[in-house]
Structure formats: C-alpha cells, structure tokens
Amino acid sequence: MDAQFAKTVLKSGKDQSLKRFHPWVFSGAIKKVYGQVNEGDVVAVYSNKDEFLGIGHYQVGSIAVRVFSFEEITPDINFWKNKLQNAYNLRKQLFSKDNQDTNVFRLVNAEGDGMPGLIIDFYNGVAVMQMHSIGMYLIKEQLKDALVEIMGGELKAVYDKSAKTIPFKSSVEPIDGYLYGSDPDKQVSEYGLTFNVDWELGQKTGFFIDQRENRKLVEDYAKGRDVLNMFCYTGGFSFFAMRGGANLVHSVDSSAKAIALTNENVKLNFPDDSRHEAFAVDAFDYLKDIKDKYNLVVLDPPAFAKHRETLPRALQGYKRLNTRAFEQIRPGGILFTFSCSQVVSKDKFREAVFSGAAIAGRSVKILHQLTQPADHPVNLYHPEGEYLKGLVLYVD
Ligand code: SAH
C-alpha cells in the first residue's frame, strides 16, 4: 500500500468495531493523525497496537473516516471499477435486460455496496450520482469514467446531484450538473407503470426507488377498496392501487409541486380516470375528519428523525400520525405504515405504532413486515443501513 496516506491511529479499545468490519470511525475514537490530512484524503487506520485496520476517506465531522477497504490496497481507478462492476453485476441479476417492466433501480447503495458516501440511482439509462462525502466527491470523474466503461451503451448520461448532500462544513462547493451526456429522456418504468422523474429539481435523486416492492404489494390489496395515499410525492402507491382495481384513490401531500407531479403521472398512466383525486394539504389536518372514508391507507412520511437527538420527538410524531390513522380507518381496513428514519429502529417504530393502535382502541393484526428491496442491500456489519421499516396491518 502507498505509504503516502496519512496514518490514523485509534485510541486503545476503539478498534473493536473496525475489526468487525463496521465501516465508520468516529472522531472521538482517534488518538492521533500523523502528517497533513485534508478533507476527502485517503487515510490508513491503525489500532493503538499498530495493527492495520482499514483505509478510507477522511472527513471533518462526527464520522471522521469512512472505510472502503479492510485490506491494504491502493484505491486507484481499477479498485473503484471493480467495486462498481460488482454492484452492477448484482443489479443485472435482479433486473434482467429483457425485463423492461422496470428500468429504475439503485445501482450503488453506499455502505451496502462497500462504497460509503456514494449513492447512484439508475433511471432508464441515466445514472444520478449523489455523493455524501468529500472523498467520493473528489473522485467523481474517475467513478463516472469507470461507470461509462462498465455500462457501455446502456448508459446515456451521468448527472451529479451532490449540492445538497455534501456536508455543509466542507470547503468544496458542489454544483449539480451532467458529467456525461445531457438532457436525456426523463420517463421511467416501474413494474410497467410510467413515471416522469425530475432528478434536477426533485427530492433525493428524484424518485423513492426504495418503495418499489411495497408499492407492488399495495396493488394486491387494492381491489374494491377506497384508498388514501398520504405523503404521495410523485403518486407511486396511488397508481399501483388503481391498477389493482381500487374503487377510489386520493393522493395527499403538503407540497403543491408533489401534487402537480402526481397529476402528471396520473395522466400518463390512467388518462381520464375519475377514480383519482389529489390534494395539497398537511397530513395532520387531512387526517382529522375522514372517519370511515377509507379502508386502505398508506402512510409514508419523510424521515421524522435525521439525528439521534431528535429521536424522542420523532417517535412522538410516528405515534400521533398512526393514532390518527387508526382512529379514522374503516373497520376491516388495511394500513400500510412506514418509517424511513435511519435512527428509528424496527422495534421503536413498532412500539410507536402499537401505542397509536392502543390509544385509538383498535384491534390490529400484522400481515407483513416490510423493508427496502434487494437493490438497496444492507451490509451485515453496518445495521444502520437498514433504514426503511414498514408494517401492513389489518384493522378490525
Ligand atoms: N410515498 C412517496 C414518497 C414520500 S416522501 C413515494 O412512494 O414516492 C415524503 C413526502 O411527504 C414528500 O413528498 C413531502 O412533500 C411530504 N410531506 C412532508 N411533510 C408533510 C406533511 N406534514 N403533510 C403532508 N405531506 C408532507
């Protein structure tokens, strides 16, 4: 390995998690960094007994090093190409080429694919890269070149969308834009339904790809039901419900822009279908006065907790939201309820939902326990990567 990497030595006893392949080094675990180190530099991490532990990207902040290799390698273009190739091969297994039913998936899921700080979502030929660390941001051209080589003609464009995800303390000032190709078609297909995706202006990388299998499950339950899709964003759950034979579908989001996107997508999939209506209203207001109106409700709120400090408030939020839904849903109703907060564990989320049901005094059965799909793999040594939790409940 190249000796030019700054040597980072951990305090005594702080090497355990790295020895178990957890990829994060917290700033408080570091005893000393030898030599000059800048944000985004590659550093080599050693224990207090001078044992090699791993190499990763250095960053100013609570997570000081994101380890991408536990072996003594040189992270050159071939190293990254190999990682990207592995990630791509897995997706090729999951989404066969002749199955054009679904052409939107997550190509690289950060720690889940051994590339902490890097997300790449694939939208029908367009790779949207979102860097969450300076280290990854600084090698974006290399990553793009490697991707172009691996994917060949399958790749029409690469868009960098890191302006909002690069840590605010950093000295780098990212500007979003195309790294390869330009202005491609922005329509994607998910299980045969069509969506316009706006990766330039939309939330995250433009689409909540992680809910694909859960949206599909809504289709199976929708027949003859009156459906409320709360926090609808681009309307995904609504169209699966419509295709599944729902009686009526109401999509609600507080953002007028989201409602406009939903209405656009309705036109693409179900033109002139009077079963659907969309409303730009706050969730808590809407859920006040809909007693027995719906017998299938989807609650897919934004992350209520982004940091550990906000966890108690977030749990209160999930409890309140679910209480409202339990109070209003018609007997015999199905509730799909989710949390995408990384810091809210499966158990804590279930407790919050449980409290909501108890307050509303409803009898409830768990039908399914949901999570993120296989193109969002979780690194077994990094359980924090399992961020999406969902329950499908039968409410008597
Ligand atoms: N279910 C969507 C993703 C939801 S993302 C899908 O399948 O694609 C969360 C959405 O919640 C965002 O669109 C955001 O605008 C909306 N939102 C945030 N706070 C809200 C509130 N208080 N009331 C209603 N919608 C809200």
CATH code of 327's domain: 3.40.50.150
Indicate whether 229 and 261 sit together in one domain. yes
Task: Supply the range of the domain harboring residue 344.
Answer: 208-395
The bridge status of strand 42-46 relative to strand 52-58 is antiparallel
Q: Which residues pair with 46 in a beta bridge?
A: 9, 52
**CB–CB of 55/75 below 8 Å?**
yes
Indicate whether 171 and 292 sit together in one domain. no
DSSP labels, 248-294: EEEEEES-HHHHHHHHHHHHHHSTT-TTEEEEE--HHHHTTS-TTT-
Ligand 1 mean position, distance from CA 324 (Å): 16
CATH code of 178's domain: 3.30.750.80
| Interval 246-302: pLDDT, tens | 999 999 999 999 999 999 999 999 999 999 999 999 999 999 989 999 999 999 999
The Cα angle at residue 395 between residues 390 and 396, in degrees rounded to 5: 165
DSSP labels, 127-170: EEEEE-SHHHHHTHHHHHHHHHHHHGGG--EEEE--TTTS-TT-
Residue 86 lies in a domain: yes
Indicate whether 33 and 83 sit together in one domain. no
Residue 195 lies in a domain: no
Last residue of a domain, one of 50, 69, 88: 69
**Total of domains in the chain:** 3
Indicate whether 388 and 246 sit together in one domain. yes
Ligand 1 mean position, distance from CA 20 (Å): 37
Count the neighbouring beta carbons within 10 Å of the beta carbon of residue 180. 17
Indicate whether 39 and 136 sit together in one domain. no
Indicate whether 148 and 280 sit together in one domain. no
Ligand 1 neighbour 258 (Cβ under 6 A): yes
Residue 83 backbone dihedrals phi, psi, to 5 degrees:
-65, -45
Ligand 1 neighbour 141 (Cβ under 6 A): no
**CB–CB of 147/79 below 8 Å?**
no
Indicate whether 382 and 235 sit together in one domain. yes
Indicate whether 260 and 301 sit together in one domain. yes
- For the chain, count helices (H), then strands (E): 10, 20
| Interval 18-30: pLDDT, tens | 999 999 999 999 9
**Rounded CA gap, 252 and 250, in Å?**
7
Ligand 1 neighbour 211 (Cβ under 6 A): yes
Regions of the chain short of the pLDDT cut 50: 1
Indicate whether 303 and 222 sit together in one domain. yes
Indicate whether 136 and 83 sit together in one domain. yes
Indicate whether 269 and 389 sit together in one domain. yes
Residue 324 backbone dihedrals phi, psi, to 5 degrees:
-55, -45
Indicate whether 10 and 81 sit together in one domain. no
- Which atom of ligand 1 is closest in space to residue 255's alpha carbon? 15
